[in-house]
Amino acid sequence: MSTAILTGPPVPGSPLEGDLRSLGFEVRSAAGPGETAALLAAVPAGERVAVVDPRFVGHLHALRLALTDPRFPAAAAPGALTAQPEARPSLTRALTARVPGSGSAPDPGSAQVPGSAPVAAPTTASGAAPTTAPEAGGARAGGASAGGTPPLPDTLATALEADGVAVHRPELGSLVAAVPTGPQARKETRDAVAAVDDEAVRLRSAVKSRDGFFTTFCVSPYSRYLARWCARRGLTPNQVTTASLLTALVAAGCAATGTRGGFVAAGVLLLLSFVLDCTDGQLARYSLQYSTLGAWLDATFDRAKEYAYYAGLALGAARGGDDVWALALGAMVLQTCRHVVDFSFNEANHDATANTSPTAALSDRLDSVGWTVWVRRMIVLPIGERWAMIAVLTAVTSPRVVFYALLVGCAFAACYTTAGRVLRSLTRRAGRTDRAARALADLADGGPLAELAARATRRWARPLGGRTPYAVLGAALLLYAACAAPVGSGLVVAAAAAYALASGAAVARPLKGALDWLVPPVLRVAEYGTILVLAARADAPGALPAAFGLVAAVAYHHYDTVYRIRGGTGAPPVWLVRTLGGQEGRTLLVAVLAALLAAGGGERLALALTALAGAVALVGLAESIRFWVSSHAPAVHDEGEPA
């Protein structure tokens, strides 16, 4: 249980103690810094602790935001500070330095807390302490001003920041958090609290600040209330996420029946799954129930649901005599490569220096015109619009039409976003950091063969306007051979070997060129596209479903890599990348299998691809689960990037 320490005797009539208990804190009172330090030392080292000024007046949700968010080692609002176990040593040092006789000079006013010798703080005509400038979008927050007596929690927060601890200060918006210093100021602050509906603010803040049109206007207006309903019944975001996955899997099963009733039910259930998918994030924001496991589930289940649904549609079509496995695999390849473009561009540029361009400035000007924002968000076919389209078309048309629409829509969206990012990259003069170059190399997913090729080509593989041309040339040669060479020909194997050499040359030097963020997407197109083409040309009944499973397993590994990098922990361990062969090793292996087994109907190729898919899934998923449920894994939360 967490502990909240009041830095003085409770104020009569204040609801503060009850509010803190409702947030899960055990409340204790101290008479000054010395007793506060003693109470802090008595709290077990593995527990969260909060230090709160007893004069605090504000909304319960302001306290919740400041004191209970699990994502940050320390957080503060006026008159309130919290520290998780990793920040406790700094808090102890800061508090000990303010205890008289500790040998350290206390900050002016830090020893003046309720219960000690009073020091008059400057007040306004009404007796209120001057408030600070509005915080983060207009929060009415404040305490004693500079030159007066700042509340002890505020002083400690400043000391923690000086000690190198990142103290999170939540955006309070219209919520009130203040430490009034006189009866009149206290009354005015309470009136300000009463004037703002705490629950309405909490519901609004549960919704992403940036989302797609369909989600914003067709789902979030009611899903936020569903999130509140779940919170009041003790449901967790992980439980809602799991319910969303199960609903999508049932939808895929309905689609696999191949009947009109099954397709209608599948469409309805897919929409329900999406509503639950929105609800889990809103529930996490509403109740601040963020967790590492929840981050992993949320990051991976969306892809698992969508691709399982593709498989269900393909199975349903097959029951009706229509083989659309190639279309299903093509849709998955296109959608995954779109995501890699997004991830790669963002990783390359989010910490770049001088990161401006005329194209970006034009984009900002367009965003200032309200309707253009929604049009631009819709045409990239984010998850809300995409799932709505899939659900409606499933119910009223056929799986083939669904996949045609997906391929056309996703292809247009991919061209639009990629072209815009290429223009930005060519017109901006940005210096890419070493961290960004390392992230791009990790996203490239090079294995042992690429490492050898990189060492062998480092001297002569000079930049051709960057490293991307090497990847493009290798991918083009490989895909041409896969499409044009006779089935079972060794030419594809030779092209795959040349591709491994080219992919090594692409990452032989740091990826700091203007367009080098394209290297990972190009390599994904080469690997996934080769598997698709070779399986389709094998003309075996089970080759394409097996290839679908293989691409799904490999794509999971690549998504896992992305979310590890976004969490700041870097790529998966080297042993995992080498065990899985790297993208060039898997591509060469598939080419060899196709050359040896594609002849004679290709049944053996289907079995080989199935076995390879199972091995990749088993090893990759086992390591991913081990990492994401470990205590050191990062919490990665999507707060506004439509997928």
Q: What is the pLDDT of residue 616?
A: 97
Q: What is the predicted pLDDT for the residue at 122?
A: 33
Beta-sheet pairing, 80-83 with 57-58: unpaired
Of the pLDDT bands very low, low, confident and very high (cuts 50, 70, 90), residue 146 is very low
Q: Give the residue among 234, 174, 163, 236 at the shortest CA–CA distance from 203.
A: 174
pLDDT band at 634 (very low <50, low <70, confident <90, very high): low
Chain Cα centroid distance, residue 104: 43
Arithmetic mean of pLDDT, 557-583: 92
**Averaged pLDDT, 151-162:** 95
HSE of 46, CA atoms in CB hemisphere, 13 A: 1
pLDDT at 414 over 70: yes
pLDDT tens, position by position, 87-121:
999 999 999 988 776 554 444 333 333 333 333 33
Is the pLDDT confidence value at 131 over 60?
Answer: no
pLDDT the model gives residue 424? 87
Range 509-547 burial, b when 16+ CB lie within 10 A, else e: bebbbbbbbbbbbbbbbbbbbbbbbbbbbbebebbbbbb
Q: Which of 143-157, 464-478, 559-573 has the lowest mean pLDDT?
A: 143-157
Q: Give the pLDDT confidence score for residue 428 in this predicted structure.
A: 76
Average pLDDT over residues 26-40: 92
- Rounded to an integer, the average pLDDT of 564-574 is 87
Distance CA 277, CA 173 (A): 26
Quick one: what percent of the chain has pLDDT higher than 70?
Answer: 87
pLDDT at 307 > cutoff 80: yes
Give 46's pLDDT tier (boundaries 50, 70, 90): very high
- Range list of H helices, 175-324: 183-194, 198-205, 213-214, 220-232, 237-256, 260-287, 292-319
178 and 138 Cβ atoms separated by less than 8 Å: no
Q: How confident is the model at residue 370, as a pLDDT?
A: 65
Structural domains in the chain plus CATH codes = 3-99+149-196 (no CATH), 210-322+353-429 (1.20.120.1760), 433-642 (1.20.120)
> What distance in Å separates the CA atoms of residue 322 and residue 317, rounded to the nearest whole number?
5
pLDDT of residue 488: 84
**The tokens 């007066």 sit on which residue?**
148
Residues 191 and 395: their CA atoms lie apart, in Å, by 53
Within a 10 A sphere around the Cβ of 429, how many other Cβ atoms? 11
Q: How many angstroms separate the CA atoms of 487 and 80, rounded?
A: 70
Separation of alpha carbons 290 and 142, rounded Å: 28
Residue 537 has pLDDT above 90, yes or no: yes
Q: How confident is the model at residue 30 (pLDDT cuts 50, 70, 90)?
A: very high
Does position 642 have pLDDT exceeding 50, yes or no? no
Mean pLDDT of 450-460: 90
* Residue 643 to residue 635: CA distance in whole angstroms: 18
Whole-number Å distance between alpha carbons of 201 and 304: 33
Query: DSSP letter at 258?
Result: -
**Would you say 60 and 198 are in contact if contact means Cβ atoms under 8 Å apart?**
yes
Task: Output the six-digit token pair for 616.
Answer: 């990749």
Which segments of 518-542 does DSSP mark as H helices, in order?
A: 519-538
Classify strands 25-29 and 49-52 as parallel, antiparallel or unpaired: unpaired
Q: What is the pLDDT of residue 491?
A: 96
pLDDT tens digits for 588-630?
Answer: 999 999 999 987 667 899 999 999 999 999 999 999 999 988 7
Contact 445, 499 (CB under 8 A): no
**What is the rounded average pLDDT of the residues 541-546?**
94
183-231 pLDDT, tens digit each = 999 999 999 999 999 999 999 999 988 888 999 999 999 999 999 999 9
pLDDT in tens, 242-282: 999 999 999 999 999 999 999 999 999 999 999 999 999 99
Enter the tokens of residue 195.
Answer: 């004037």
Confidence of residue 239 (pLDDT cuts 50, 70, 90): very high
Q: What pLDDT shows up at residue 504?
A: 95
The pLDDT of residue 600: 66
The whole-number average pLDDT for the span 544-554 is 97
Would you state the pLDDT for residue 134? 35
Residue 132 pLDDT greater than 50, yes or no: no
Q: What is the value of pTM for the model shown? A: 0.87
Reading phi first (left if > 0) and then psi (alpha if -120 to 50, else beta), residue 445 is in left
Task: Convert the pLDDT of each residue in 463-493 to its tens digit.
Answer: 777 889 999 999 999 999 999 999 888 999 9
**Distance (Å, rounded) from C-alpha 195 to C-alpha 176?**
10
The residue ranking higher by pLDDT, 364 or 444, is 444
- pLDDT of 620 reads 95
- Is the CB of residue 152 less than 8 Å from the CB of residue 146? no
Of the pLDDT bands very low, low, confident and very high (cuts 50, 70, 90), residue 432 is: confident
Neighbouring C-beta atoms of residue 11, cutoff 10 Å: 17
Mean pLDDT of the chain: 88
Residue 68 pLDDT: 95
* pLDDT > 90 in the chain, percent: 71
Torsion angle, alpha carbons of 200, 201, 202, 203, to 10: 50
